Structure 1
Amino acid sequence: MIKVEHLSFSFPQKELYNDISFTLEEAQHCAFIGTSGSGKSTLIDILMDPESYLFDGKLEMDPDCTIGYVSQFPELDNTKETTVFEYIGERFIKVQNDIQSICTEMETSLDIEPLLEKYQLALDALEAMGGEDFESNIHKQLNLANLMKRRDSKVSDLSGGEFKLVQVMKEMLNRPDLMIMDEPDVFLDFENLNALKKLINSHKGMLLVVTHNRYLLNHCFNKIIHLENTEIQEFDGRYMEYNFSLLQTKIELQELAVAEHEEIERNETIINNLRAIATYNSEASRGRALKARVRFQERLEARRIKAPFVDIKQPKIRFGIDNEMEDSTVVSVNQYRVAFDELLLDNVNFEIKSTDKVAIIGANGTGKTTLLREIVKNNHDAIEINADAKVAYLSQLQGEVLKDSNTILEEFIDAGFKTYDEIRSYLSSYGFEGEMVSQKIESLSGGEKNMLQLAKVAASNANVLLLDEPTSHLDTYTQIALENAIKDYKGAILMISHDFYSVVNGMDYVLIIEDKTIRKMSMQKFKRMIYASHFDKDYLETEQKKKSVEMKIELALKDTNFELAKGLVDELEALIGLL
C-alpha cells in the first residue's frame, strides 16, 4: 500500500493541493483524472521523488518500493542500434550475458570458487527479476499488442505509437511494485490504443494512470482518483459508475440548493419588511429582531452547497466566422503524393465543402500530419485552397503555433485584440484567469497549451479549421465542450483524430487511409468497422440510449423537475449495467 495523508503543496504562483489524502493498494488499476493544470503530473513527481519537494503532510511508502514510469513524452536514443526484443528485455539480457561470461571464464580458470559464487549471485538476481522465462513473457506481450511482427525491427524504425507501447511493455516486464503512466494514450491510433487497453488489463500489479481518454477510462480501471480545485476524491469502481455517482450527487445538491435559495429569499423578504418597519417604529425589540434575522441570513449564505467535483466549470469554446461561404469547395486535393524513406501516400483525391466536418483516420506514421501541414502552407501543386477561405490551424506539436518564451498575454497581442483587458476578458472563458495570463507558455501543462491553441483558433473567426489531434491532453470536460463547439460551427473542419468519441460525435464522414491512399467512408460504416473490432454487440446502441437519458436528466435539472430526474436515474443505472 502507498498512503498519502493530509498533503499540501504550492508553487509560488499557485496552490496545487490542500490537505489531500488517498491510498493505492495492491492490484488496483487506478485512473488519475482532473482538469488540465490541476497538478496531476506534479503529484506523480512527488510520489516518485518525495525528497525533492517541500510539502506538508505524510507520504507512506516502503523504502524498497520499486516504481516503473512511462512518460507523457518518451524520448528515443536513435544512436542505439537496438531491436525491439533487445530494448524490452535489456535488463534480463544483461544478466543473462553476465552468466554466459562467467561460464566462459570458468572453462579456463584455475580458481573456480569465486566464479561459482559470482555465478550463483547472477542466477539469484535473474530469478529475483522473474527472468527465467523473460523471453516467453516478451513474446506474450508482443502478441497481445499485435506487435510480434516488430520483434526484430530496430526501435528507431517504430512509429511514435508503437514505441509508446514498447516502452509500456519494458516497464511492465520489470515488475515494479507501482507502475505509473502519464497520458500513455496521447497520439495513439485506435489499434494501438486498443493494444494499450489489453496491456493495462493484463497487468497484475498496482497501476496509476493519468488519462483523459474516454475509451480507456470506460474499459480499464477499478478505482478513480479525481483531483480538482486543490481537493481530491477517491472512488472504488469503474469510471462510468463514478460519473453515475456524481450525477446522483448533483441531483441531491441541486435539490438542496433550490430549497436553500427559497429559504434565503423568504428570509430576505422578512428582513426587508423589518427594515421598512424600523424606519417609522424605533422600538428596541424591532431592532433586535432585524439583527437576528440578518445573522440568520449570513449563516444561510455561509452554508450554501459547495461542490468542487460536481459543478466543474467547463470552458466556453465557440468557433465563430467572419465570412460564411455558400455551398462551395474550400479545399481540393488532386493526385497528392508524399514519400520520405518510403512511400506514405499516393493518388490521394478529395474535396472539402464549405460546411463539411471531416476526420482523417489512419494508423500512426501514415502521413496524416504531413498532408495537413501541406494544406496549411498552400504551396503544393496538388492542393488548391479557395481564395475566400480563411484557414486556422491547431498543431499536435504545440511549439509550431505557440512560442514558449511568450507570456499568455503576449501570445494574443497579435491575434486581433486591441487591449490587455480585452484579452483577459476573452481568455477567462477558456480558464485562463487572474495572474495566470502573465505566466510563460513553457510553464503550462500539455492540456493548457492545447486549450490556448483552441482559444487562438476561435479568435481567428476562420471559415476553415485544420485541427491535428485537438483532443490530445484535454480533460474530458474540455473534450465535450470542444465537441459542442464543433457541432455549432458553421464552417468547414478537417480534423486528424484518434479519439473515437470526438469523431463519431462531431464529424459528418471520415477520410480513411488504407493501402497508402485515402478513401471516403460514411460515419455509419466507420462506426460499424470500429464496433466490429473493438466493442461488444449492441454497445453502440446502448451507449446512445445512455447519452439520450443523460440529456433528459440535464433538461429535467434545468427545469428543477427533481422527481423526473430521479426517475430517469434508475433508467440510466440499468443502461450502465449493460455497458
Structure 2
Amino acid sequence: MIKVENLSFSFPQKELYTNITFTLEEGQHCAFIGTSGSGKSTLIDILMDPQRYLYDGKLEIDPEYTIGYVSQFSQVDTTKEITVFEYIAEPFMKIQDEITDIYAEMATTSDMDALMEKYQLALDALEALGGDDFESKINKQLNLANLMKLKDTDVSSLSGGEFKLVQVMKEMLNRPDLMIMDEPDVFLDFENLNALKNLINSHKGMLLVVTHNRYLLNHCFNKIIHLENAEIQEFDGRYIDYNFSLLQMKMEMQEIAVAEAEEVARNEALIDNLRTIATYNSDESRGRALKARMKVQERFEASRIKAPFVDIKQPRMEFGLDHELEDTVIVQVNDYGVSFDELLLEHVDFEMKSTDKVAIIGANGTGKTTLLRDIFRNQQESITIHDDVKIGYLSQLQGETLTDSNSILDEFIEAGFSTYDDIRAYLSSYGFEGEILNQKIQSLSGGEKNMLQLAKIASSNANLLLLDEPTSHLDIYTQIALEKAIKEYKGAILMISHDFYSVVNGMDYVLIIDNKTIRKMSMRKFRQMIYKRHFDKDYLEKEQNKKEVEMKIELALKDTNFELAKVLVDELEALIKAL
C-alpha cells in the first residue's frame, strides 16, 4: 500500500495541494483526474522521487517497492537498431547474459562461494520478472495489443502510438509494484486505444493512470482520485458511478444553496429594516438587535457550502469569425499524395464547403498530420484554398504555434492584442488568471498549452479551423466546452481526432483513410463501424439515453426544479446500472 497523508506543496506562483490524503492498495487500477494545470504530473514526480521536493505531510512507500513509469512525452529513439521483441525483452536478456557470464566464470574461479551468491541473486532477479519463459509472456502481450505483426520490426520505424503501447508492455512485463502512466492515451488511434484498454484490464498489479480519455475512464478503472482546487477526493468504483455521485452531490448542494440564499435574503431584509428604524429611533435595544442580526448574517456567509469538486470552473470557449462565406467550396484537394520512407497517401480527392465540419480518421502514421499541415501552408498544386478563407491552426506539436520562451502575456501581445489588460480580461474565460499569466510557455502543462492554442484560434476570428488532435491533454470539462464551441461555430472545421466522443458529437461526416487513400463516410456508418469493433451490443443506444437524461437534469437544476431533478436522477441511476 502507498499512503499520502496531509500533503501540501506549492510553487512560488501557485499552491498545488493543501493537506491532501489518499491511499493506493494492491490490485487497484486507479484513474487520476483533474483540470489541466492542477498538479497531477507534479504529484506523480513526488511519488517517484520524494527526495527532490520540499513538501509538508507524510508519504509512506515501502523502500523495496519498484515503480514502472510511462511518460506522456515518450519518443522513439531513431538511432537505436533494435527490434520490438528485443526492446521489450531487454531486462530479461540482460539477466540471462549475466547468468551466461557467471557460468563461464565458474570454470576458472577460485572463489566459488562469492560466485554462487552472485548466481543466486541473478536467478532471484529473473524469477521476479516471471521466470525464464519471458518469450511466451511477450508474445501474449503482443497478441493482446494486436501487435504480433510488429515483433521483428525495428523500434525506430514504429509510429508514436505503436511505440507508446510497446513501452507500456515493457514496463508491465517488468512487474513493478506500482505502475504509473501519465496520459498514455495521447494521440492513440482507435485500434491502439482499444489495445491499451486490453493491456490495462489484463494487468494484475497496482496502477495509477493520469488520463482524460472518456473511453478509458468508462472501461478500465475501479478507483478514482480527483485533484481539484488544491484538494483531493477519492472514490472506490467506476468513473461512471463517480460522475453519478458528483451529480447527486451537486443537486443536494444546489438545493441547500437555494434555501441558504433565501434565508440570507430574508436576513438582509431584516437588517435593512433595522437600519432604517435606527435612523430615526436611537433606542439602544434597536442597535443591539441590528448587531445581533448582522452577526447571524456573518455566520450564514461563513457556513455557505464550498464545492471544490462540484463547482468546477469550465472555460467559456467561443469560435467567432469575421465574416461567413456563402455556401461554396473553400478547400479543394485533387490527386494529393505524400510519402517519406514509404508511400503514405496517394490519389486523395475531396472538397469542403464553408460550413462543413469534418473529421479525418486513420491509424497512427498514415499521413493525417502531414495532409493538414499541407492544407495550412497551401503550397501544393494539388490543394486549392478559397481566396477569402482565413485559417486558424492548432498543431499537436505545440511548439509550431507557441514560443516556449514567451510568457503567456507576451504570446498574446504577439498575436495582436493591444494591452496586457485586454489579454487578462480575455484569458480569464479560459481559466488563466493571476500570476500564471507571467509564466513562460515552457513551464505549462500539455493541457494548458493546448488551451492557449484554442484561445489564440478563437481570437483570430478565422472561418476555417484546422485542428490536429485538439482534445489531447485537455481535461474532460474543457473537452465538453470545446465540443459546445464546435457545435456553435458558423465556419468550417477539418479536425484530426482519435477521440470518439468529439467526432460523433461535433462532426458532420468523416474522411477515413483506407488503403493509402481517403473516402468519405457518413456519421451513421462511422458510428456503426466503431461500435461494432469496440463496444458491447446496444451500448450506443444506452449511452445516448443516458446523455439525454443528464441534459434534462441539467435543465431542471437551472430552473431550480429539484422535484423533477430527483425523479430524473432515479431514471439515470437505472441507465447507469444497465451500462
**Residue equivalent to 2:460:** 460
Alpha-carbon distance between aligned partners in 2 of 1:96 and 1:436, rounded to the nearest angstrom: 51
Q: TM-score, normalised by structure 1?
A: 0.98
Q: Deviations over 1:27-65 (max 9, x none)?
A: 000000000000000000000000110000000111101
Q: What does the per-residue CA deviation read over 1:261-295, in whole Å, with 9 as the maximum and x for residues that have no partner?
A: 00011111111111111111111111111111111
Helix, strand or coil at the partner of 1:521: strand
User: Partner amino acid for 1:559?
Assistant: D
Task: Tell me the residue number matched to 2:498.
Answer: 498
Quote the residue 2:83 is aligned against.
83
User: Paired residue for 2:278?
Assistant: 278
**Residue 184 (structure 2) pairs with residue 184 (structure 1):** yes
Per the alignment, residue 290 of structure 1 pairs with 290
How far apart are the structure 1 equivalents of 2:459 and 2:239?
34
Amino acid at match of 1:72: Q
CA displacement at 1:74 relative to structure 2:
0.9
Write the letter of the residue equivalent to 2:254: Q
Q: Distance in 1 between matches of 2:80 and 2:397?
A: 25
Q: Deviations over 1:220-248 (max 9, x none)?
A: 00000000010000000000000000000
Q: CA, structure 1 residues 110+310, in 2 after alignment: closer, same or farther (shift >3 Å)? A: closer
Match of 1:73 in 2: 73
| In 2: Cα distance, 1:347 partner to 1:204 partner | 47
C-alpha distance after superposition, 1:346-393 (max 9, x if no partner)? 000000100000000000000000000000000100000000100110
What corresponds to 2:480 in structure 1? 480
Shift of 1:414: 2.7
Q: Paired residue for 2:36?
A: 36
Offset of residue 117 of structure 1: 5.3
- What's the counterpart of residue 98 of structure 2? 98
Residue 555 of structure 1 is matched in structure 2 by 555
The answer for the alignment partner of 1:143 in structure 2 is: 143
- For residue 184 of structure 2, give the secondary structure of its aligned residue in structure 1: coil
Corresponding residue of 1:327: 327
Secondary structure in 2 matching 1:429: helix
Aligned equivalents of 2:454, 2:119: Cα separation in 1: 59
Name the CA distance, whole Å, in 1 between partners of 2:5 and 2:120: 42
Matched, 1:315 2:312: no
One-letter amino acid of the counterpart of residue 505, structure 1: N
d(CA) in 1 for partners of 2:93 and 2:53? 35
Change (3 A) 1:363 1:273: same
- 2:536 matched residue in structure 1: 536
Which digits, 9 at most, give the CA deviation of each residue in 1:307-326, with x for residues without a partner?
A: 01001000001000101001
Q: What amino acid does structure 1 have at the position aligned with 2:518?
A: I
Q: How does 1:442-461 map to 2 (within 5 A)?
A: 442-461=442-461
RMSD: 1.2
Alpha-carbon separation, structure 2, partners of 1:165 and 1:64? 27
- Is the contact made by 2:128 and 2:175 (CA closer than 8 Å) also made in structure 1? no
**Residue in 1 aligned with 2:222?**
222
Q: CA deviation at 1:109?
A: 4.2
Q: What does 1:408-447 correspond to in 2, within 5 Å?
A: 408-447=408-447
Secondary structure of residue in 2 paired with 1:4: strand
Aligned residue in 2 for 1:196? 196
Matches within 5 A, 1:114-125: 118-125=118-125
2: distance between equivalents of 1:496 and 1:531? 19
Q: Which amino acid aligns with 1:276?
A: T
CA distance in structure 1 between the aligned counterparts of 2:284 and 2:99, rounded to whole angstroms? 96
Quick one: distance in 2 between partners of 1:128 and 1:351?
57
Q: Distance in 2 between matches of 1:562 and 1:238?
A: 26
Cα displacement string for residues 387-438 of structure 1 (whole angstroms, at most 9, x for unaligned residues): 0100110000000000000010111113232221111100110111112111
Q: Which residue of 2 aligns with 1:306?
A: 306
- Partner secondary structure for residue 17 of structure 2: strand
Aligned position for 2:250: 250
**1 CA distance for matches of 2:348 and 2:150?**
28
Corresponding position: 1:15 with 2:12: no
Shift of 1:116: 5.3
The one-letter amino acid of 1:156's match is S
**Structure 1: any 5+ residue segments left out of the alignment?**
none
Superposition deviation, residue 122 in structure 1: 2.8
SS in 1 for 2:306: coil
Q: Secondary structure of the residue that 2:41 maps to in structure 1? A: helix
- State the partner residue of 1:266: 266
Structure 2 counterpart of 1:364:
364
Q: Distance in 2 between matches of 1:205 and 1:394?
A: 38
Provide the secondary structure at the position in 1 that maps to 2:253.
helix
Task: Tell me the SS of whatever aligns to 1:89.
Answer: helix
Structure 2 length-normalised TM? 0.98
Which deviates further from its counterpart, 551-560 or 93-102? Answer: 93-102
Three-state SS of the structure 1 residue aligned to 2:410 is helix
Alpha-carbon distance between aligned partners in 2 of 1:103 and 1:578, rounded to the nearest angstrom: 59
Matched-pair contact (CA < 8 Å) for 2:30–2:223: yes
Distance 1:408 1:336 in 2: 37
Aligned mates of 1:62, 1:117 — CA distance in 2: 25
Q: Partners in 1 of 2:191 and 2:321 — Cα distance?
A: 35
> Per the alignment, in what secondary structure is the counterpart of residue 430 of structure 2?
coil
In structure 2, the residue corresponding to 1:349 is in which secondary structure? strand
Q: CA deviation at 1:111?
A: 5.8
Q: CA deviation at 1:539?
A: 0.3
8 Å Cα contact 2:129-2:173 kept in structure 1: no
Amino acid at match of 1:510: V
List per-residue Cα deviations over 1:111-132 (Å, max 9, x = no partner). Answer: 6946555444433331233232
- Which amino acid in 1 is paired with 2:508? D
Which region of structure 1 is more displaced relative to structure 2, 551-560 or 116-125? 116-125
Write the letter of the residue equivalent to 2:39: G
CA distance in 1, matches of 2:112, 2:255: 79
Matched, 1:343 2:340: no
1:489 aligns with 2:489: yes
Asked if the contact 2:76–2:158 (Cα under 8 Å) also holds between the matched residues in 1, the reply is no
